[in-house]
Amino acid sequence: MLPRFRRVVPHSSEEALVCWRELGGMFCAGGQALLMEMALGRRVPDVLVDLSELEPADVAARDGLVMVDSLSTLDSLELRPEVPPLLRAAARSVGFASIRSRATIVGNLCHGLPTGEMSLALVALQGAVHGVLPDGTATTKTEDSIFSLRPVGDRSELFIRSVSWPRPDASTNADFYEVGEQGSWQPALSVATMLTPLPDGAATVSAAVGLRDGGGTAHLEFALPADARAGHLRELVVGAIRVADGLDCGRLSDWVTDVVSARVAETRARPGGT
Ligand SMILES: Cc1cc2nc3c(=O)[nH]c(=O)nc-3n(C[C@H](O)[C@H](O)[C@H](O)COP(=O)(O)OP(=O)(O)OC[C@H]3O[C@@H](n4cnc5c(N)ncnc54)[C@H](O)[C@@H]3O)c2cc1C
């Protein structure tokens, strides 16, 4: 059963900001995480600022940046050609179709799982999260601060409005993969990667890694020399494991190596795989 709370339903972003400033409480977007946490007694906000009546703005692409309304549902990203494959693949990995039809980008960012798909994809894309503080001051979060958007208490700390990222080069190769399952014997690990080829045959890699069950998150950037191109996925996995080691999960390395090597072999076996 849900605890008692007051619900306000603003009809514009400006109204939402005023409600939050005057009443406090937490924003509720799709409700797919927050209402469950409230039912379990993990959150007890006295006010919910329900954003479900706000219509997400269209995707905007200009000056080399793509900007998406943070209230866009995860399944709506499939219909947006401007949204890069990495973000769409990450969105597809969240829960089930029925969850994705209501869950939003911002809700996934603020739910705060280390394996949270939107956070990992956005960090790998070198993107940004844009919002305002209660006094209306604009704030932008980038890099590791994107991993820390979950509010500590029962009051939202930021009103997040949009996310943006540099439009990837057409030659960029992106992937999102998950191994393990929450709560099972296999620790859950998610990796979002962006590989950008350089003219000399080398490539740069931006990877975001999240590990649950006592793990954490990290952003990794490294260069792959030209002669490592053919084996780039393996290099990437080695890099991911190095990050996991840095997160004090070194004992998992053998297991991760086995599981991810199998995944690399699968990818290579697919038409067009490397
Ligand atoms: C069966 C099931 C499977 C799931 N699978 C996954 C999964 O694979 N990966 C995963 O990460 N999550 C998963 N979830 C959790 C959750 O559904 C998703 O993370 C989802 O994206 C939440 O989005 P929402 O819009 O429903 O967020 P809500 O529940 O509305 O809100 C979540 C958080 O975002 C905050 N928030 C909402 N709007 C704003 C705003 N504009 N500004 C600031 N803060 C805001 C809320 O205050 C709250 O803290 C799952 C949930 C279920 C029930």
> Is the separation of the CB atoms in 36 and 2 below 8 Å?
no
Residue 139's H or E segment, with its range, is strand 138-142
pTM: 0.88
Nearest alpha carbon to residue 260 among 247, 242, 248, 271: 242
Pocket flag, ligand 1, residue 95 (CB < 6 Å): yes
| Cα 100 to middle of ligand 1, angstroms | 10
Pocket flag, ligand 1, residue 116 (CB < 6 Å): yes
**What are the φ and ψ backbone dihedral angles of 201, each rounded to 5 degrees?**
95, -15
pLDDT at 228: 58
What is the best residue among 2, 13, 72, 99 to mutate for testing ligand 1's pocket, by most ligand atoms within 8 Å of CB? 99
Nearest 5°: the CA angle 221, 227, 231 is 70
pLDDT at 196: 85
3-class DSSP state for residue 220? strand
Residues of the chain with pLDDT under 50: 230, 248-252, 273-274
CA dist 168 and 130 (Å) reads: 19
Structure tokens at 227: 């002669």
> Whose C-alpha lies nearest to ligand 1, atom 18?
108
> Is the separation of the CB atoms in 89 and 76 below 8 Å?
no
Q: Could you read off the pLDDT of 147-188 as tens digits, one per residue?
A: 999 999 999 999 999 999 998 888 888 888 787 665 555 567
CB atoms within 10 A of CB 1: 6
DSSP state of 29: S
| Pairing mode, strands 189-197 and 203-211 | antiparallel
> Is the separation of the CB atoms in 167 and 61 below 8 Å?
yes
CA dist 257 and 93 (Å) reads: 21
Q: List the domains of the chain with CATH numbers.
A: 6-166 (3.30.465.10), 173-269 (no CATH)
pLDDT at 201: 75
